[in-house]
Amino acid sequence: MENTGGASRGSQLLPVLGQLVRFLRQIESPDNPSPVSLAVLRRLDGDGPGRVTDLARLERASQPGMTQLVGRMEKAGLVRRAPDPADGRGVLVEITQEGRDVIARTHARYVATLDELFETLDPADRDAIVGALPALERLAAAASF
C-alpha cells in the first residue's frame, strides 16, 4: 500500500502518542518524580554511576541544572554522590535502593494503567497491537541516541 494522498504515518501516530501520554501523566502519587528525574534514575540504574557532566549531556540539560537536580535527588535519598577516584574534579552519582524503589513503583503504576486500558479493547485490537509491538520497539530504538 502506497501512501499517496493519505496522511503520513507520523501524523497518524502522533495523536495516539499524545493521548496516551496525557493519560499516563495524570496519574497522581506521593512519589511522582519529574520526567527528567525519572530518566536520570533509569540511566543510573541501567548504566551504573555517572558524572554530572555526562548526565547533563545525555539528558539534554545544563550542567548547573543537573547539579541542582542531583542535589534535590540526593536530599530525597534517591541518589548519593561520591568523589571520582579517577579525577579530583569529578563527582560520581550513584542510585540508591530508594531510587530503585521509586523507579519500580512508578513503572508499576504506569504499567497497571496501560494494562487496564488494554482490557477495554476487543481481542482483535489487542492482537493487532501485540503483533505490532516488535515493530514499535524498533521504531523506539531508532529514536534512541
Partner DNA sequence: TATTGTTATACTCTATAACTATA
Partner DNA sequence: TATAGTTATAGAGTATAACAATA
Please identify, using beta-carbon distances, which residue of 86 and 135 lies nearer to its own copies. Answer: 135
* Interacting residues with its own copies between 44 and 83 (CB under 8 A): 60
CA 123, 124, 129, 130 dihedral sign is positive
CA dihedral 59, 65, 70, 71 (to 10 degrees): -170
The stretch near DNA (CB under 7 A) out of 21-29, 90-98, 118-126, 134-142 is 90-98
92: cell is: 560520581
Would you count residue 72 as binding DNA (CB under 7 A)? yes
The stretch near its own copies (CB under 8 A) out of 19-27, 46-54, 68-76, 79-87 is 19-27
Would residue 32 be called left, alpha or beta, if left means φ above 0 and alpha means ψ between -120 and 50 degrees?
left
Q: Which amino acid is at 77?
A: G
Shortest Cβ 109–DNA spacing (Å)? 17
Binding site for DNA (CB under 7 A): 34-37, 51-54, 60-65, 67-72, 81, 84, 87-92
